[in-house]
Amino acid sequence: MASGFFALLDDIASISKIAVSSLDDVAAQALKAGKKTAGIVIDDAAVTPRYVVGFAAERELPTIAKIAWGSLKNKTLYLLPGALALSFLAPWAITPLLMAGGAFLCFEGYEKVHAMLHPPPAEAPGPAAAISAADEQAKVASAIRTDFILSAEIMAITLAAVTTPTFINKALVLGLVGVLVTVAVYGTVALIVKADDFGLYLAQQGGVSVVRALGRGIVYAMPGLLKALAFVGMLAMLWVGGGIFLHGLEEYGLGAVPHAIHAFASRAGAAFGAAAGGVTWFVDATAAGVLGLAIGFVVARAAARFVK
């Protein structure tokens, strides 16, 4: 009896060790995949604040919450099952779909560069119009549609990065990345959107002048910060899109260009000693961004020619 009980405990301990090991593997895989999606996450966080521009202060956080909930549903209810089905039924399709998504990111990045270099004529500011419930719903729906494309890229990159062989662990990694990315993006967006309100609150406080000065500094800095985020998001689109294409070329045995870029980046980095890693990454990312800009140009011209 006693020996049977201790044998049972030993079995439970063994199962627990396997479970813990499995969870460790899931966490490690999620972290690895999360790093690969960093560029899209930055772009998502940079793009989303524009959807609440013009909203009354009390509607900003509820609107962001609606978009975040839509984003979470995109990832967990639609894209996660689709990614798992794709990995099981047609794994060969993952790379071309990634490259198609990369081409879209390059196109979006190119459009932003074009708009930056050729801004539309400024319009005279008019009286601010109140945003109706229908307008709010339309903006939320538009944001969720944009998020679906970016989320699809995040899930596809995650799926391509996952090496765990078990179906359950793969699903857990995809789900964990989806939840963490959503929390990170929309938590950051909420902080960005409410930063000016916080700064205004500090600026209106009596007493310590340093607090008021800090508040005014936050308010004055926010427009520049939003512009900087938009610029970083644009660069991230081109870098990630071009990088996806380079990786796709390697997958199809056409690695001469990616290998040449990496070899050049490694040689350039080696000349900077302790900063070699950062320089190598910068050269790699710059090359990917330039390629992304070229791909975006081609896609934009094709779209203008064939899509009327």
Q: What is the pLDDT of residues 68-106, one digit of tens each?
A: 999 899 888 888 888 888 888 888 888 888 888 888 888
Q: What is the dihedral of CA 157, 161, 166, 167, to 10 degrees?
A: 0
Neighbours of 151 (CB within 10 A): 28
Judge contact between 45 and 183, C-beta under 8 A.
no
Q: Which residue has the higher pLDDT, 5 or 170?
A: 170
Give CA–CA dist 292/119, Å, rounded.
Answer: 21
Helix (H, G, I), strand (E, B) or coil at 128: coil
Query: Is 63 a residue whose pLDDT tops 80?
Result: yes
Rounded mean pLDDT of 261-288?
88
At residue 87, the 3 state secondary structure works out as helix
Quick one: what percent of the chain has pLDDT higher than 70? 78
Confidence of residue 164 (pLDDT cuts 50, 70, 90): low
pLDDT digits (tens, 9 = 90+) for 22-53: 445 555 555 555 555 566 666 666 667 766 76
How large is the average pLDDT for residues 191-199?
A: 82
Q: Are 199 and 222 in contact (CB under 8 A)?
A: yes
**d(C-alpha 169, C-alpha 123), whole Å:** 53
For residue 153, give Cα distances in angstroms to 158, 180, 187, 240.
Answer: 8, 15, 20, 10
Residue 72 to residue 87: CA distance in whole angstroms: 21
Show the 3-state SS of 244-294. Answer: HHHHHHHHCCCCHHHHHHHHHHHHHHHCCHHHHHHHHHHHHHHHHHHHHHH
Which pLDDT score, from 0 to 100, does residue 21 have? 44
Interval 196-244: pLDDT, tens: 888 888 888 766 678 788 888 888 888 888 788 778 878 888 888 888 8
Average pLDDT of the residues of the chain: 77
The SS3 assignment for 9 reads helix
Count: domains in the chain: 1
3-state secondary structure of 63: helix
Confidence at residue 211, expressed as pLDDT on a 0 to 100 scale = 78
Residue numbers of the domain that contains 26: 2-306
Mean pLDDT calculated for residue range 50-60: 73
Backbone angles phi, psi at 122, to 5 degrees: -70, 140
Give the separation between CA 112 and CA 94, rounded to whole angstroms: 27
Q: How confident is the model at residue 293 (pLDDT cuts 50, 70, 90)?
A: very high
The per-residue pLDDT for 15 is 39
Pick 27 or 286 by higher pLDDT. Answer: 286
User: Quick one: average pLDDT of 243-249?
Assistant: 86
Q: Is the pLDDT of residue 16 over 50?
A: no
Positive or negative torsion for Cα 86, 88, 240, 34: positive
Assessment of whether the complete model's pTM goes beyond 0.75: no
The pLDDT value given to residue 5:
38
The pLDDT score that the predictor gives to residue 248 is 86
pLDDT at 149 over 80: no
